[in-house]
Amino acid sequence: MTRIVVLDDYQFLADELGDWDRLGEEFEVDYLHRHLEGEPLLAAIGDAEVVVAMRERTAFPRELLERLSGLRLLVTTGMANAAIDLEAATALGITVCGTASGSDGTVELTWALILAAVKQLRREDAAMRRGAWQEHLSGDLKGATLGLIGLGRLGGAMVPIAKAFGMEVVAWSQNLTAERAAEAGARLVTKEELLGAADVVSIHLKLGDRSRGLIGAAELAQMRRSAYLVNTSRGPIVDEQALVEALRGNAIAGAALDVYDVEPLPADHPLLALDNVVLTPHLGYASEANFAHYFADIVDDIVAFATGSPVRVLAAP
């Protein structure tokens, strides 16, 4: 019997969405519905040969992989996972496979967050629930400037929606060219120019050595006091403590966040006490279409590995 452990199934959907019967009776699937770390995680995985990780909800550093003596296949949703030490996995003989994405849910969520922040939805919803009426004026997107930090697949998909709202779009990233920016419908500027000009700054970068801590106290100080910061990429791209201080001091108008340094966000986190930030629990990829694709590919990955021909294998750069 080959044991499979599916981690962090918060919504109790893995059993329903995965066609696990395709694997046959020689496979047993266990679903973990809450986040575990340390010894409880090791105990839950035990001698499982296959582990399914939901994005970066659970980290797999070398020290954890070395203690999972039975692990042969680690499947992650998506085709990149910064929380897995791929070099260590390869050295330990663990195959890591990914899955395709089924929708642009992150782009849709980014616009939901932008609108929620600019239109003061969090504050006004809370005000109505305590009996108040129209405490704040909402902002407008028409005529405003959207600053995109990163203009890849997701950043590029932001542009036509911004244009539909009547926004000007400027963009910056370390390798972005004027030609690529113009092709996407944006104008290339320096990072400093973007931060100083944008009414909404939206981050669309992968987390790496060059992007970690990219937006810190100095960058937040360059933003307009009337501007909003939106992050649906990865939490550590923004210095979280510097952002808390900027929000506390009203150095910027507000923020809208879907990603954090530690996830799930701790119950005593200072962001939870601020009314000028909209918070969502890393929902960008958690859509019906994405999850349906993820679990179809997860089963495909396990079948392919079991037959000796693994697919969508992830390797260290």
Q: Is 282 a catalytic residue?
A: yes
Helix (H/G/I), strand (E/B), else coil: 267: coil
Catalytic residue among 57, 204, 282, 293: 282
CB 213 within 8 A of CB 240: no
Catalytic residue among 263, 288, 293, 312: 263
Distance CA 80, CA 181 (A): 24
Q: Is 72 a catalytic residue?
A: no
CA distances, 98 to each of 178, 218, 268, 293 (Å): 33, 37, 33, 11
Catalytic residue among 122, 123, 234, 293: 234
Distance CA 99, CA 110 (A): 22
Distance CA 240, CA 233 (A): 14
CB 78 within 8 A of CB 55: yes
Q: What is the DSSP letter of 235?
A: G
β pairing state of 200-203 and 145-149: parallel
Q: Is 263 a catalytic residue?
A: yes
Catalytic positions = 234, 263, 282
